[in-house]
């Protein structure tokens, strides 16, 4: 099998599995208990917060563990609106956000919020000038993703953060795809809230975090117990948190070397596809993109057909976000960058990891050439 869908999920790293195991069988106490067994779990959670905070240039009391990126996005947007709606009801986001943000914005609109959806250019880059023009006296939140999950484009996060800070507006970024892949400094980028998920970087599924700056006072998101300083009730997922910490440690340690290696694979695969398949279109910014992201549209070819034929050859890829798998609608991201519905349906996303090899890139390129030729001849 050749696995090229690391944006959907990653293999749990051996370091994460090893770190988690004792917290299933030996240190299984509730982190909220006062006896020794519970204290061991509590210490693990505290240590994980220290590790995560250090990776962002944040403080441990600014890290809140969640069930994943979707919950973190929901928390950031819903709590911000609920807390500051008396100040204003205007939110700014982009047209290419993950549905965890877009659907939350749609929900908030039904609660009275007014949302501006920023355009992007043909590379998927947010229009910063439009952002400036969109700011109103009642704007309370800007939410723009760090890196797009489909086309890999990196946004000018520092510039957006500076604009938000100048106008005393909260800035949230969905960094689910970026965290662990590229360096992030929340203070330098003026980020008030940041979402991340464990399973995108070798951690387990079902655990994520929301960074909330100590200068931001949000209302509680989940009510119940006093976990997470009363903001997010519920017994902590200690094994998951420990696994996330181990994966984050590993990702930070390997980041520079991995990014260099995976970028080399990415650029090689892009080059071969562009040279050997006529009229293909690379989606996303050519250089300002995630190290492992490759997204192409193939005229006259259905993406689903490519996926099925690739799968028959043992190659795992996708046509877009895993969260929209099965949808017959073309990608909202590809439509936003100007593709026609037909061309958007002919898209293929391949996201690479450190386990992939140059030999695999040759196999994938060869199979893609054969598959596209076969589909075009049959159409």
Question: Is there a contact between 104 and 74 (Cβ–Cβ < 8 Å)?
Answer: yes
> Would strands 315-316 and 2-3 be described as parallel, antiparallel, or unpaired?
parallel
Strands 90-94, 208-212: pairing kind = unpaired
CA 187/CA 164 separation, integer angstroms: 13
Angle, helix 358-378 to helix 238-276, in steps of 10 degrees: 60
Is 323 tagged catalytic? Answer: yes
φ, ψ of residue 5 in degrees (nearest 5): -140, 45
Residues 150, 331 contacting (CB under 8 angstroms) = yes
Helix (H, G, I), strand (E, B) or coil at 52: helix
- Alpha-carbon Rg for the chain, nearest whole angstrom, is 21
Selection from 359, 182, 311 nearest residue 254 by Cα: 182
Q: Are 170 and 140 in contact (CB under 8 A)?
A: yes
Q: Please report how the helices 303-312 and 358-378 are oriented relative to each other, as an axis angle in degrees rounded to 10.
A: 130
3-state secondary structure of 265: helix
CA distance 204 to 201: 9
Candidates 105, 189, 316, 323; catalytic one: 323
d(CA 351, CA 372): 19
- Give the end-to-end CA distance of the chain in Å, rounded to a whole number: 28
CA 324-328-331 angle, 5° bins: 55
Buried b vs exposed e over 203-233: b needs ≥16 C-beta within 10 Å?
bbbbbbbbbbbeebebebbbeeeebbeebbe
The DSSP bridge partners found for residue 91 are 115, 141
Token look-up 């949000």 returns: 218
Active site residues: 323
């Amino acid at each position: 099998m050749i696995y090229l869908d690391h944006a959907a999920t990653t293999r749990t790293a051996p370091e994460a599995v090893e770190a988690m195991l004792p917290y299933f069988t030996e240190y299984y106490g509730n982190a909220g208990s006062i006896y020794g067994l519970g204290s061991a779990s509590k210490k693990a959670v505290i240590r994980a917060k220290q590790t995560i905070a250090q990776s962002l240039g944040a403080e441990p009391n600014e890290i809140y563990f969640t069930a994943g990126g979707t919950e973190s996005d929901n928390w950031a947007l819903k709590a911000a609106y609920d807390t500051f709606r008396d100040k204003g009801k205007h939110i700014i986001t982009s047209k290419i956000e993950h549905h965890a943000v877009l659907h939350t914005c749609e929900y908030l609109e039904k609660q009275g919020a007014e949302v501006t959806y920023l355009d992007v250019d043909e590379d998927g880059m947010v229009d910063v000038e439009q952002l400036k023009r969109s700011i109103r006296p009642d704007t309370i939140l800007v939410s723009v993703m760090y890196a797009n999950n489909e086309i890999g484009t990196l946004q000018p996060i520092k510039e957006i953060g500076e604009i938000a800070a100048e106008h005393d507006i909260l800035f949230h970024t969905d960094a689910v795809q970026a965290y662990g892949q590229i360096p992030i400094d929340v203070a330098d980028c003026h980020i008030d809230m940041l979402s991340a998920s464990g399973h995108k970087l070798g951690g387990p599924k079902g655990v994520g975090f929301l960074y909330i700056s100590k200068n931001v006072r949000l209302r509680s998101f989940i009510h119940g117990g006093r976990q997470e300083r009363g903001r997010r009730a519920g017994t902590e997922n200690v094994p998951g948190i420990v696994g996330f910490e181990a994966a984050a440690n590993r990702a930070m340690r390997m980041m520079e070397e991995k990014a260099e290696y995976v970028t080399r694979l990415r650029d090689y695969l892009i080059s071969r596809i562009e040279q050997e398949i006529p009229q293909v279109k690379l989606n996303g910014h050519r250089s300002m993109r995630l190290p492992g992201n490759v997204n192409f549209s193939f005229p006259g070819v259905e993406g689903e057909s490519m996926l099925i034929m690739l799968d028959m050859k043992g190659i795992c890829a996708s046509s877009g976000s895993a969260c929209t798998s099965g949808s017959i609608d073309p990608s909202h991201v590809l439509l936003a960058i100007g593709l026609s519905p037909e061309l958007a349906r002919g898209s293929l996303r391949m996201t690479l990891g450190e386990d992939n090899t140059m030999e695999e890139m040759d196999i994938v390129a060869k199979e893609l050439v054969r598959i596209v030729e076969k589909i075009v001849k049959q159409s």
